[in-house]
Amino acid sequence: MPLKLPRIDPKHLEIIVLATPEKSLTQDEALRLAAKKGLRLLTNMEVDELLNGEGEEWKKYDEAFPCFTSTRVTYNGVKAVVTENGKSEQMTLPMEYGWYIPDKYGIPRLAASDYKNPKARHLFRAEGEDCLVVRHRYCFGSERRDVFLFRPSLWVGVLATPILENGKIMKKR
C-alpha cells in the first residue's frame, strides 16, 4: 500500500525569498541568515508541495530555485539519518540515482519507480554526505521532481518562513 503523505498547503505559509542563487550562499550561511532574521527554511515536503501541488504557486518564487530546504540528510553508502525540525530518524537510501517513491520527508527511497509516476521523485546522491536537501524547479527534464542529496556546486537560493515564539509556523494574515 503506498504511503499517503500529509498535504502541506504552501498557500497558508508566509513564504519569503531569503536569497536568490546569485547570492551563492553555502548551506551553513543560509541557515545562519534565516536564524538571524527569525526565520526557518522550508522543509523538503513544503517545497515539494509548492512545486508539485495544485496550481502554479511555485512560479511566484521561481527566482529562488534551485533552493535549500531545512531537511538535512547525513549518509554514507546506504545508511542515513534524516533530521528535520530537530528530530532525527535513521533510514536506508538507494545507492543508485533514479526514480523512487518518497518517504514522509519527501526523500525518494521507498520503492523504485519511473518518471511516468507523478508521485515519484528523482534522487541524486553522492557516496556520502552531510547536506541540506536541495530542490530544483527544472533539471534533466524531470519537471520540479528532482531531489538532490549533496552539496551543490551550483548557486542555490533560499525560501524561508517566519517562526512564532512558541515554535509554530506563522500563518498568512
Read off the CATH number of the domain in which 41 is found. 3.10.100
Please tell me the predicted confidence (pLDDT) of residue 17: 94
Q: Which residues touch 115 (CB under 8 Å, ≥6 apart)?
A: 99, 122, 142, 145
Eight-class DSSP state of 160: E
Report the candidate in 168, 107, 129 with the shortest Cα–Cα distance to residue 27. 129
Whether 173 is in a domain gets the answer no
Quote the mean pLDDT of the chain: 86
pLDDT tens, residue by residue, 34-75: 999 999 999 999 999 999 887 788 889 989 999 999 999 999
Whether 46 is in a domain gets the answer yes
Band of the pLDDT at 155, cuts 50, 70, 90?
confident
For residue 123, give the C-alpha cell. 534522487
- Model's pTM, two decimal places? 0.86
Whether 6 is in a domain gets the answer no
Whether 20 is in a domain gets the answer yes
Whether 8 is in a domain gets the answer no
Whether 2 is in a domain gets the answer no
pLDDT tens, residue by residue, 91-133: 999 999 999 999 999 999 999 999 999 999 999 999 899 999 9
Domain total of the chain? 1
